[in-house]
Structure 1
Amino acid sequence: MKKVIYLFMIAVTITACKEKPNKLPIYGNRQAIKRIIDGKPTVDTIYQTIPAFSFINQDSVIISNHLFDGKIYVADFFFTSCPSICPVMHRNLMKVYEKYKGNNEVMLLSHSIDYKYDVPQILKRYATKLGVTGSQWQFVRGPKESIYGLAKNNYLVSVGEDSKAPGGYVHQGYLVLVDKQKRVRGAYDGTKTEQVEQLMSDMDLLLAETKQDQ
């Protein structure tokens, strides 16, 4: 009888593992906070999140972090005149756009690092050329210190000006996955097809995770 119960418990455990997908890791700084809940000491972990921001988009509209409330989104850094990795990144990101087009839980956010040239009409022309319509994929510009600070300190992506680099700027081609709590959950090389496929797989996992937590 004990053997039968033991085998049953193993079967239940295996089934539970199959039914409950693994959660994605949470990146960035974290802090342990002690709280008293129902008279008992409890330790909560506070994770680093994307802070408040306000930028101008391709339609000359000011958008803020609140536009992304209750959504997962993919963020990247680029410039419209980029002669190297940006065209490949955004061709690959178009696959993400097409897959989740119309899904009101998913958005894309591309930050221009060329604060001199990439004004709204340039961003709009770039988005139109890509085939992007509507508001699900936002292309934004802002002050150098704001965009560059977010990249380095919050999205954990390296960007900068370099007169010797093609186009005058350098940046990493990461596509950064952010959850509904504005925590970074993954970073993927946007120039590699297999990495973009992994991104979409992880987005599905993250969407399933948020439904389980509701």
Structure 2
Amino acid sequence: MKNYSYVGISLVILIFGTWAVPKIIAQFSTPTMAEIGKVPNFSFTNQDGKTITNEDYKGKVYVVEFFFTTCPTICPKMNENMIKIQDEFYGNPNFGIASFSIYPEHDTPEVLKAYADKYGVAIPNWHMLTGEREAIFELANKGFNLYVAENDEMDGNFEHSGYFALVDQEGVIRSRYDDFGNPIAFYNGLDKSDLEKLRKDIKNLL
């Protein structure tokens, strides 16, 4: 049986020369990703009591979520899935995660530290962040366009998106395109197929 990949590359060399091979291979192996928007500047406190800003993520690919530690509905599953993503890229210093608490009055650094230990947060670039509620809500709703709100009629008194955002090394929110050529924008943190897409797109950006 012929090796058609080898034949194809040989044909490229014959027609274009060796200089064209890396460029053409990259074109077929690396999908184009959409630019959704720039992440606004932020400054919050992590589970270790350290101030974390955009600069701490500069040069890193990272995933963003909005959650709270007392969430009785989707947050536990979201973070179980985030742990799987962490484990996939464990040991890579250019990968990180940012988890913003939407209940900062309760989620102090000490509470976030205990939550991180409970779920198995093990990479230094996973920051669970707390600060002023107004600033966190603005970052979610306007900066990322990921909905969060206080709602006394909901379990846990909050409602929020279960989607993850993917950010590149320059602080730009990125995503793949769907089958119709539209950006998906975000990745469902509860959906197995979306999580697989996210893993692939992280690798692409890295």
Q: TM-score, normalised by structure 1?
A: 0.79
Cα distance between partner residues in 2 of 1:17 and 1:86? 42
1:155 aligns with 2:162: no
CA RMSD of aligned residues (A): 2.1
Tell me the residue number matched to 1:22.
31
SS of equivalent residue, structure 2 residue 153: coil
Q: Report the count of equivalent residues.
A: 181
Q: CA deviation at 1:63?
A: 1.4
Query: Alignment partner of 2:193: what SS?
Result: helix
Give the 5 Å matches for 1:1-214.
8=15, 16-20=23-27, 21-28=30-37, 49-186=38-175, 187-207=186-206
Q: Distance in 1 between matches of 2:40 and 2:84?
A: 28
Which residue type is aligned with residue 153 of structure 2?
A: K
Any conservation in 1 of the 2:60–2:169 contact (CA below 8 Å)? yes
The answer (yes or no) to whether the contact 1:176–1:184 under 8 Å persists in 2 is yes
Unaligned runs of 5+ in 2: 1-10, 176-185
Q: Deviation at 1:152?
A: 1.2
Structure whose residues are more often strand by fraction: 1
Matched-pair contact (CA < 8 Å) for 1:54–1:65: yes
Q: What TM-score results when the alignment is normalised by the length of structure 2? A: 0.82
CA offsets 1:61-112 (integer angstroms, 9 cap, x no match):
1111111011111000000010111011111111110011111111000000
Q: Is the 8 A contact 2:90 2:123 kept in 1?
A: no
Runs of 4+ with deviation above 4 angstroms:
12-17
Give the conservation status (yes or no) of the 8 Å contact 2:91–2:123. Answer: no
In structure 1, what is the Cα distance between the partners aligned to 2:53 and 2:205? 23
